[in-house]
Chain A
Amino acid sequence: GQQVMQIPQYQHVQEGEDFTTYCNSSTTLSNIQWYKQRPGGHPVFLIQLVKSGEVKKQKRLTFQFGEAKKNSSLHITATQTTDVGTYFCAGKKSSNTGKLIFGQGTTLQVKP
Chain B
Amino acid sequence: DGGITQSPKYLFRKEGQNVTLSCEQNLNHDAMYWYRQDPGQGLRLIYYSQIVNDFQKGDIAEGYSVSREKKESFPLTVTSAQKNPTAFYLCASSPTVSTRAREQYFGPGTRLTVT
Interface set of A (CB-CB < 8 Å, partner B): 1, 6, 9, 30-31, 33, 41-45, 48, 50, 88, 90, 92, 96-100, 102-105
Contacts and interface: CB of A to CB of B under 8 A. Distances in A.
Nearest to B4: A42
A42 B108 contact: yes
Interface of B: 31, 35, 40-45, 48, 50, 58-59, 90, 92, 94, 97-101, 103-109
A43 B103 contact: no
A9 B58 CA distance: 24
A33 B103 contact: yes
25 contacts: A1-B59, A6-B42, A30-B99, A30-B100, A31-B101, A33-B101, A42-B106, A42-B107, A42-B108, A42-B109, A43-B92, A45-B103, A48-B101, A48-B103, A50-B100, A88-B42, A88-B43, A92-B101, A98-B50, A98-B94, A98-B101, A99-B58, A100-B45, A100-B101, A103-B42
A104 B43 CA distance: 7
Interface SS majority for chain B: loop
A-side binding surface: helix, strand, loop or mixed?
A: loop
Nearest to B45: A99
Given A98-B31, A99-B58, A45 B104 contact: yes
A44 B105 CA distance: 7
Nearest to B111: A40
B99 to A, nearest CB: 7
A43 B88 CA distance: 12
Contacts of B94: 98
Nearest to A86: B42
A9 B42 CA distance: 10
Contacts of A88: 42-43
B106 A43 contact: yes
A44 B48 CA distance: 19
B42 A31 contact: no
B60 to A, nearest CB: 11
A45 B41 contact: no
